[in-house]
Amino acid sequence: MKRRTPLIIALAAGTVAASAMVAATGPAAAAPQDPAAAAALASDKADALVAGRPAILHAGSNETFQQQKVIQSSGLNYVPYKRTYKGLPVEGGDFVVVTDAAGQTKATSVAQSAPIGEVGTVAKISGSAAAATAKEQLKTVNTVEGTKLVVLAEEGQPARLAWQTTVAGTNAEGPSRLTVDVDAATGQVLRTTERVIDVAGTGTGWINGSVTIDTTQSGSSYLLQDPSHTSIRCQNSSGNATFSGPDNVWGNGSGTDRETGCVDAFYVAQKQYAMLSSWLGRNGQNGNGGAWPIRVGLNDQNAYYDGTQIQIGKNTAGQWIASADVVGHELAHGIDDTTPGGISRSGTQEFVADTIGAATEWFINNPNDAPDYQVGEEVNLVGSGPIRYMYNPSLAGDSNCYSSSTPGSEVHAAAGPGNHWFYLMAEGTNPANGQPASTRCSGSGAITGLGIQNAMKIMYNAMLMKTSSSSYLKYRTWTLTAAKNLFPNSCDQFNTVKAAWDAVNVPAQSADPTCSGGGTTPPTTPPTSPPTGTCTGTNGTDVTIPDAGSAISSSIAISGCGRSASATSTIAVNIVHTYRGDLRVDLVAPDGTVYNLKATSSSDSADNVNTTYTKSLSSEAADGTWQLRVQDVYQADTGYINSWTLTL
């Protein structure tokens, strides 16, 4: 049986493409009932799809893909990948493969819309100079977290070699944790990404009242720390000490007391954890059974997530703003950050967090903070009521309707159309449950909502298709695809999602799926033209490489190609071996000519050979038996040829 290898897949140029956006045909295999088995099957099927090099990936011969952890939700499997170019991380090269429980591909989403092309990998400016430029983007700098070379490949922009540095400190508006991409050739700042995203003991919160919370006993003391998920804890932001006490009774009900603020925040975090599990099947806010420390005491009318913590500030009356929708919103930024593609972009990040904050409030259903679709109504941040109104964003001065200017708007104002869409999807235009009516921006006819739980399920599954090129337009496609996949026997949910997007003026996209009552059939992407004849082949049989022994070979027979090999032939090699410098790797042509692919090296101690080599083989006839020949010339390390693909 073939062994699993590190999930790096080298892609061979010219391989016949298979459309990644077409639903699988033929009878479905029996769906595995065990989640672990389903995830393993999804992993294997996604790897097989990627190895087939579908055109939708826009992959070049210098690129490899690394599979990330499979995420499961509602019987679907989401398999994210990251991309490298000549060994460098590609910012903007990520994508997701979606499969059902039987391993059939349901959809893909890809950050890139065009190939990377050729990019130089030698920097003309130093990393220290780039870091200095990054530091200049902040008012004060406390920490420089490191600098690395990347290929920046934002959608619609030419790919460039860049130095990427993350700096932490303050900007003109307050705390900042900023990732800065600096052109490695010119020193120009290409992009900045802000990481600070604002806005059973017993306890008494000033918002939620008397509540039961799960705490941790430590000797004769107790901690505001979840006993099962220890990264969920509440701390005093002065010194970051987790609140502790001798009696497991917390807070005094005063909104200006930090421990009381922590009671509210900790209670919300634990309830949100339960909502994620019950409604969405997610294992904690970070997807791995935990979250981030919540720290109460920020001296600002604000709250934020920065990738490492949640900071909770106060309103103008000095009360800590730890309501369900605010704390739920900040934790939601972390959920967004730890789903594929990272923090949502192009004006979508705040509405994404608002939807999860609203779902958290509805799941808790605390009479002291009755569920609704207002944001921050309990905390009264600056003394003027709610921060945002999802059913009518214009009440807070935000737009109800999407336009071409929305993605470039201030991020909180840009949330208006997305919040309006979510409300229409969840509650409709004329809810019957006491929630307010909501009007359309255009079109006519009533919209009947799906309910908050179904709306959140669709939103979350769309987030699991997210890439680093997220936008309103892509969220439209992702949510429609999610609705079709989640409800394969009905078009009602799909049609509601579509009607809600239409109602807020987010236009239809060519990538939008259609619905006729069956399973998802995403739009197809034409495959690239295959080479003439059968000019490519793969051998996936393991061949053991003897330690410090003789050379071994793995063969591929090419027939029916009927031409010479290409001047840009590729050899995609996947060899599992510790200390890869031990290995010499050659390609042997049918006539016996040897083409060296990799020389030995006494200093290359890294594991595995996972790459694609390009060779001019135009002097060789393509047809015949080709061999990948590998020899281990040093002792103490072993391995095997896992697979290789030859494209002539």
pLDDT in tens, 186-227: 999 999 998 886 546 667 788 899 999 999 988 889 999 998
DSSP per position, 458-475: HHHHHHTT--TT--HHHH
What is the pLDDT, as a whole number, of residue 32?
44
- Averaged over 535-553, what is the pLDDT? 88
Cβ within 8 Å of residue 419, ≥6 positions away: 351, 354, 355, 373, 388, 389, 390, 393
Q: How many CB atoms lie within 10 A of CB 192?
A: 15
What is the pLDDT, as a whole number, of residue 95?
97
Alpha-carbon separation of residue 151 from 36, 88, 116, 189, 491 (angstroms)? 34, 7, 9, 14, 41
What is the pLDDT, as a whole number, of residue 567?
84
In the chain, list all ranges with CATH 3.10.450.40. Answer: 127-194
What is the pLDDT, as a whole number, of residue 534?
65
Window from 21-25, 169-173, 243-247, 288-292 with minimum mean pLDDT? 21-25
Query: Which SS3 state, helix, strand or coil, does residue 111 take?
Result: coil
Q: For residue 415, what is the enclosing H or E element?
A: helix 415-427
- Averaged over 576-589, what is the pLDDT? 90
CATH code reported for the domain at 536-647? 2.60.120.260
Cβ within 8 Å of residue 559, ≥6 positions away: 534, 623
CB 385 within 8 A of CB 377: yes
Q: pLDDT tens for residues 425-470?
A: 999 999 999 999 999 999 999 999 999 999 999 999 999 999 999 9
pLDDT at 523 over 80: no
- Averaged over 34-62, what is the pLDDT? 91
What is the pLDDT, as a whole number, of residue 198?
57
CB 387 within 8 A of CB 381: yes
pLDDT at 560 over 90: no
CATH code reported for the domain at 127-194? 3.10.450.40
In the chain, list all ranges with CATH 2.60.120.260. Answer: 536-647
Domain 365-512 has CATH 1.10.390.10: yes
35-110: CATH topology: Nuclear Transport Factor 2; Chain: A, (3.10.450)
What is the pLDDT, as a whole number, of residue 200?
66
Residue 213, beta-bridge partner list: 201
Distance CA 333, CA 352 (A): 8
What is the pLDDT, as a whole number, of residue 620?
86
Q: With cut-offs at 50, 70 and 90, classify the pLDDT of residue 28.
A: very low
Window from 51-55, 84-88, 424-428, 452-456 with minimum mean pLDDT? 51-55
Distance CA 459, CA 237 (A): 32
- Averaged over 325-329, what is the pLDDT? 96
- Give helix 492-503 / helix 452-463 axis angle, nearest 10°: 80
pTM: predicted TM-score of the whole model, two decimal places:
0.73
What is the pLDDT, as a whole number, of residue 20?
31
pLDDT at 508 over 90: yes
What is the pLDDT, as a whole number, of residue 535?
87
